[in-house]
Structure 1
Amino acid sequence: MKDVSAGGAVVNTVLGPVPARELGVVAVHEALLSVVPGAEYAYDVTIDRAEIFEILAAKLREFRECGGGTIVDATGMFHGRDVRLYETLSRATGVHIVASTGMGPEEMLGGYFLTPQTNPPTPWPADKFAGLFGEEVTEGMVVPRVERRGAAGLVATTATRAGMTATDESLFRGAARAANVSGVPVSVRFGADAVRDLAVLLDERLPADRVVVGGLDRKDAVAAAAPLEIARRGAYVAVDNIGTEGDEFVTDDERATLIRDLVDAGFADRILLSANVIGVAKGGPGRDLPYSHVLTAFVPLLTAQGLSVRDVRRILTDNPRELLSVR
């Protein structure tokens, strides 16, 4: 889809299509409101939308003050996505918000998305997932039992950490088919093998440059040289847990070195950054970093590695703009 009147590509935001050139600096894999499915019914969980609004609005304003322009909420359909709240937040703060359709991994799906008449249960066919996700782009995201609102800007899904299951594969193929029809990109979190999981999407004839593979700052991915191989295949490499260090992830210094190596290998146009912040978490652990963390704490590490202002601008602005543009 092209917005002829705007003279260029557009991106689906919760307030409608906007010219891609207006996105500014983009945080490509964040969460605004994350609610563990079922937590809304728990006796010890309070969900006060007015309070949530105030918390998120303050965080988004701080992001904007630090130079941010767009937040991509990559949580998909069933982790607390609140389209009306996101619309109000975007209007109040001036930050563009791109919301996502999709779901996964298998362990986070309800029984509705299996076929219980079979023994053992089998997943929905990929075409059913494709239809569900595609309609959230072409007809608007569902507000349960009420209406549809703005169009989803991407399809997000995740593979099981121990390895892609049959249900995960159906989700991946459905996501790819929905993206091929609707023109939005696919954002995935890989399971045990990033290259193998990407191959499932490419097998659906989804162009590699319509895919971003997240979690590539995990230690196992870096040790297997997965970021370089993903970039070689033409997909986007998301270093998107910036600020998180420990047993599973590399340090921020190591992330900066990884990005330097990718730039030196000629893949500056395939790098995306984010911190996987959770603005408000209900029923599960949060990630209480500012949305500006990449800008304020990580970009200085990149410049210390010798990246130019042009390199940083390409990674933070140009690459996400190309990815998110509806085609």
Structure 2
Amino acid sequence: MTGPETATATVHTVLGPVAAADLGVVAVHEALLSVLPGAQHAYDIDFDRAEIFATLLGKLRDFRAAGGGTLVDATGMFHGRDVPMYENLSRASGVHIVASTGLGPENLLGGYFLTPQTNPPTPWPADKFADLFAREVTDGMVVPRVERRGPAGLITTAANPDGMTATEESLFRGAARAGRDTGVAVSLRYGKDPLADLDVALDEQLPADRIVVGGLDRRDAVAAGAPAEIARRGAYLALDHVGTEDETHVSDAERVTLVTELVAAGFGHRILLSASATGVAKGHPARDLPFGDVLTAFAPQLRAAGLADDTVQQILTTNPQDLLAAR
């Protein structure tokens, strides 16, 4: 059930504050327009904004028709985020859109976020990242060289799968400080060790229930028992590659088993589901899944496995509402 704080709390959407209880079913980790930095300037990549808008609008309307209410664009800064377009998409589709601030992993940052005055260059200190992200929440998200728009509703960052670098530690600490100071939740895409990466954020005095650790349907995380341990520490766990089975991620059948085991262990209130679908990708392959894939394909599997409907609704609706409610 939604707690009393969430019942009165609001969430930052691109069209302004929305009561958390009015979000409906939430897709918590998706990408609307995902652009490899620099691809928008490449001579061989078509960037027809009208075509991009039409494609995204069709996908959002399909999501709404499937029962979806809110989509979180978890791409962060400088990876295609287009807040004015998202505002228009939200108006036209009726879907609430939560945009995010944040950066990472290091290999997608560019040299600007290193300190070139040192030899070798050193990463930005955590306080600089914290200020950058916090201002996008308090002052509005930057439209490059133009203006600021509405506030970000999530702070997101990621580490390298080979292990967190010094720059990524600064990113994680900066994201945690910004979340702590603004009341907006923080999404961490772990690198090699989800528990150690969570500890970096917890070390900044960010409450565990303001954190979601993503990518926990990776085979390494599942084999190590990380999803249950993340929940035991009080953070949210995201199984956010629903619809994907490959050498890195478990199958949907294994996800169903994992969800039922977590619920049986008392962690149903900490589970989040998403597909990491990409609406439009430029400069890299898209994860071409419907935004409503969790609703139309995965939720029925959970029910068929014996999960009660109110538990499924808690996972799809109440849990993300609780996470996204600014506090």
TM norm structure 2:
0.98
Match of 1:233? Answer: 233
Match of 1:110? Answer: 110
| Distance in 1, Cα, partners of 2:315 & 2:192 | 26
Moved over 4 A (4+): none
Q: What amino acid maps onto 1:27 in structure 2?
A: A
Local SS of the residue matching 1:33: strand
- Give a deviation string over 1:240-278, Cα, whole Å, max 9, x none: 000110111000000010000000000000000000000
| Distance in 2, Cα, partners of 1:301 & 1:253 | 8
Match of 2:40? Answer: 40
Match of 1:180? Answer: 180
Q: What amino acid maps onto 1:301 in structure 2?
A: Q
1:170 aligns with 2:173: no
Indicate if the aligned counterparts of 2:7 and 2:20 stay in contact, CA closer than 8 A: no
1:146-295 aligned at under 5 Å gives the runs 146-295=146-295
Stretches of structure 1 that go unaligned for 5 or more consecutive residues are: 1-5
Stretches of structure 2 that go unaligned for 5 or more consecutive residues are: 1-5
1:311 aligns with 2:311: yes
Match of 1:125? Answer: 125
| Distance in 2, Cα, partners of 1:148 & 1:94 | 23
Match of 1:94? Answer: 94
For these two proteins, the number of residue pairs brought into alignment is 322
Q: What amino acid maps onto 1:190 in structure 2?
A: Y
| Distance in 1, Cα, partners of 2:89 & 2:71 | 11
User: What is the root-mean-square deviation of aligned Cα atoms in Å?
Assistant: 0.9
Local SS of the residue matching 1:302: helix
Q: What amino acid maps onto 2:233 in structure 1?
A: R
1:324 aligns with 2:315: no
CA drift at 1:305: 1.6
Q: What amino acid maps onto 2:189 in structure 1?
A: R
Local SS of the residue matching 1:248: coil
C-alpha change, 1:7 and 1:28, in structure 2 (3 Å) is closer
CA drift at 1:78: 1.1
Q: What amino acid maps onto 2:276 in structure 1?
A: N
Match of 1:3? Answer: none
Match of 1:79? Answer: 79
Match of 1:56? Answer: 56
Indicate if the aligned counterparts of 2:7 and 2:21 stay in contact, CA closer than 8 A: no
| Distance in 1, Cα, partners of 2:181 & 2:15 | 22
